[in-house]
Amino acid sequence: MSVTTKTDLRHVMIYQVYVRNYSEEGTFKALQDDLERICDLGTNILYLLPIHPIGEIQRKGKLGSPYSIQDYYKINAELGTLEDFKALIDATHKAGMKIMMDIVFNHTSYDSVLLKEHPEFFYKNHADDFSNRVGDWWDITDLDYTKDAKLWTYLIDNLVYWTQLGVDGFRFDVASFLPLAFLEQAHDAVLEVNPESLWLSESVHGAFLKTFRDQGFEALSECEIYQVFDMAYDYDTHDAFLKYLRKEGPLKAYVDWVMLQEQIYPKNYIKMRNLENHDFGRIAGLLNHDLTLIKQWYAFAFFNKGATMVYAGGEFTDSKHPDLFNKDTIVKTGTNISELIRLCQDIVSDPIFSSGIYTLEKAEDKDVIVGKYTNAEKTMLGVFNVNHESGKVKVNALDGTYSNLITGNNVTIKNGLLLVSEDPIIIEID
């Protein structure tokens, strides 16, 4: 784990934005106009998907994938100018938030500046053709970190450039596929400019990691990722989570996976909990727009140990997953759960959520998640009814009547049992 990582990051809320699809205008300026609303949600970090020019060769869709990058130093003109981006950085800081960029150092587009100027930096397949190591990513070609050390210098200089411009952190696309030595060197260089720079890893699913390694390629496990990154995606639990939502697997498998993280990662590990993102989405769609269950899962995402990310549109319970390769503006006309998000973020700002002893379990005979944070002063108890269950569950907490911090309603514990509700429950027990 990065020695600079602070457990206070478990209080952080990240708001993920794909600028092109965030508004009809699809520009930095339009996003800037909405910063007050985004901040009012409880957002600490504004995270932008890649903002660079998009490749035209073998382009996916009409507008292409933002992860097929032509030039790491340029801004996609569709989004605005460099001055517009600087203005967004300044406005984000003035609103009290930080800004994070998406970094794509595994590959570029086939018409990238880097490929034209430095073809020696790139991977070639057995036919000696520029290619990628993942077959369905046919719009990009991979970098090869083993060929020329100048590639490392070029990419590290790029990170320093954006940091000096005011960017507060980076989310690394498929970080598992990048060499650990490079990441360590890059991290040190960035911290010299901004000691508070936050690094988020998109470490890949375990099965994907194994397949990649089985093909003879190097790839970093989650444990290795934590040697550099402050925070990592929750993809180690993701398969079990999706299987439960699709009624293909038990809730206990997911809960057990979350608890396993307490054993296999460093003590100060930070997981970035998210119900949806630009690759996997929307929770409202997965739950057939069942508002009761949507609220239960959102409350649990915040309660669960780690930082939380909201994908733009999630606060409006948007069930349509936006197209990554075409203009597809997010929907903001659904049921607005901004108040729930704001309230949950406020609740988890309590220090116990970053330093308390965390336990999580599935109720014995119901699909209900019961979680606790404890320290010498108090307990925070969370009960999340993710399957419209009824009846009582065992919570092993002091008997008494308490106020649900989510709804304000009274909640009674008697003989260690609590009556579940259609509302998520978080109570404080002194």
What is the distance of C-alpha 201 from the center of its chain?
A: 9
Of 8-12, 71-75, 278-282, which range is least confident?
A: 278-282
**At residue 278, does pLDDT exceed 90?**
yes
Residue pair 106/177 in contact by the 8 Å Cβ criterion: yes
**At residue 1, does pLDDT exceed 50?**
no
Residue 311: phi and psi, rounded to 5, are -85, 125
> Band of the pLDDT at 109, cuts 50, 70, 90?
very high
How do residues 282-295 score in pLDDT, each as one tens digit? Answer: 999 999 999 999 99
CATH class of 362-429: mainly beta
Q: What percent of the chain has pLDDT over 70?
A: 99
Res 159: pLDDT: 98
Tokens 């599935």 — which residue?
362
Q: Report CA torsion sign: 311, 316, 320, 322.
A: negative
- The three-class DSSP label of residue 198 is strand
Q: In angstroms, rounded to a whole number, what is the distance separating the alpha carbons of residues 43 and 170?
A: 16
* Buried-state track 95-114, b at ≥16 Cβ within 10 A, e below 16: eebbbbbbbbbbbbbbbbbb
Q: Residue 3, Cβ neighbours under 10 Å: how many?
A: 6
Q: In angstroms, rounded to a whole number, what is the distance separating the alpha carbons of residues 66 and 300?
A: 31
Residue 393's DSSP bridge partners are 418
Half-sphere exposure of 226 (CA within 13 A, CB side): 18
How do residues 218-228 score in pLDDT, each as one tens digit? Answer: 889 888 999 99
How do residues 181-204 score in pLDDT, each as one tens digit? Answer: 999 999 999 999 999 999 999 988
Q: In angstroms, rounded to a whole number, what is the distance separating the alpha carbons of residues 17 and 28?
A: 11
CB-neighbour burial class of residue 262 (10 A; exposed 0-12, middle 13-18, buried 19+): middle
CA distances from 311 to 46, 276, 322, 332, 340 (A): 10, 6, 11, 12, 15
How do residues 132-173 score in pLDDT, each as one tens digit? Answer: 888 778 899 999 999 999 999 999 999 999 999 999 999 999
Q: Where are the domains of the chain?
A: 7-351, 362-429
Res 210: pLDDT: 87
Q: Which CATH architecture has domain 7-351?
A: Alpha-Beta Barrel (3.20)
How do residues 61-96 score in pLDDT, each as one tens digit? Answer: 999 999 999 999 999 999 999 999 999 999 999 999
Provide the mean pLDDT of the chain.
Answer: 95
